[in-house]
A and B are shown apart, each in its own frame.
Chain A
Amino acid sequence: MEYLNAFWVGGLICVIGQILIDKTALTPARIVVFYVTGGVILTALGIYQPIVEYAGAGATVPLTGFGYCIAKGVETALCDRGILGAFTGGFTAAAGGVAAAIVFGYIFALIFNPKSH
């Protein structure tokens, strides 16, 4: 059941992005910015948490989930360190994914060459 929820919620979040790509002049680069920022805002407003509870990876895998992760990290860090947490919390929560992207990006750049197929 949880797999079905992950599937349709994740799929729907992507469809909204597809409509934005095809129907507006927004480029994907701008759309993903709206998604990550939107994820932070929706989490701040308490709207995203229930979606995460319902859909699991369907809510955390899309980039809105990245925003959710940042916002949650900020909330935790505020409790632990006060106002400093506003600066450290987001980065700390996102660190795993970002560090992985840097490391794997570097490694794969070492190994592979781009091709045009």
Chain B
Amino acid sequence: MIKKDNYSEYVKKKTKNSPLAKNCLWAFLVGGAICTVGQLILNGIKKLGVSPEDAKIWLPIILVFLGALFTGFGLYDSLAKRAGAGTIIPITGFSNSIVSSAMEFKKEGFILGVGAKMFTIAGPVLVYGTMAGVVYGIIRYIVMMIWG
């Protein structure tokens, strides 16, 4: 007997689930590929004479640019449809979320549209990443003070 209190479970049972195995395979292949491209870029710029320290900073910048480029041309979301986490988890996904928002909200102007809404999706990453860093820093400092 389907009633209000068991309705949500009943709906879950009736609804087709995402194809987990297929999604995981795509996520693995595309995510892995993006990381491998990252490794290629890293090695490539070191060969060009960039120091390992600077290369570590160049890599996210270059990947962010590539993610932005693919997003601008409308290709990132077509890939992401299949790749799921394979395109969301790498830093190119972070770039895609910012660029897609910037593109979308351009219609509302460059200050209040692009400027304010660029971070509607990526904002939490920056907030929680920064907070985690600060909390870690304070704890580490206290630990260093106590135990030298």
Q: Which residues of A contact B (CB under 8 A)?
A: 2-3, 6-23, 28-33, 35-37, 40-41, 44, 55-58, 60-63, 65-67, 69-71, 73-75, 77-78, 82-83, 85-87, 89-91, 94, 96-98, 100-102, 104-115, 117
Q: Do the beta carbons of A61 and B90 come within 8 Å of each other? A: yes
**Would you mind naming 13 contact pairs between A and B with Cβ atoms under 8 Å apart?**
A2-B39, A3-B36, A11-B28, A14-B85, A18-B27, A28-B85, A85-B141, A94-B130, A96-B61, A101-B95, A108-B103, A109-B103, A109-B106
B112 proximal to A (CB < 8 A): no
Contact with A along B41-74 (1 / 0, CB 8 A): 1100000000000001111110111001101111
Q: Do the beta carbons of B31 and A10 come within 8 Å of each other? A: yes
Main secondary structure, interface of A, reads: helix
Q: Do the beta carbons of A18 and B38 come within 8 Å of each other? A: no
Q: Do the beta carbons of B88 and A32 come within 8 Å of each other? A: yes
Q: Do the beta carbons of A33 and B128 come within 8 Å of each other? A: yes
Q: Do the beta carbons of B89 and A62 come within 8 Å of each other? A: yes
* Closest A residue, CB atoms, query B27: A18
Q: Which residues of B contact A (CB under 8 A)?
A: 17-18, 20, 23-24, 27-36, 38-42, 56-61, 63-65, 68-69, 71-74, 77-78, 84-86, 88-95, 98-104, 106, 110, 114, 118, 121-122, 124-126, 128-130, 132-134, 136-141, 144
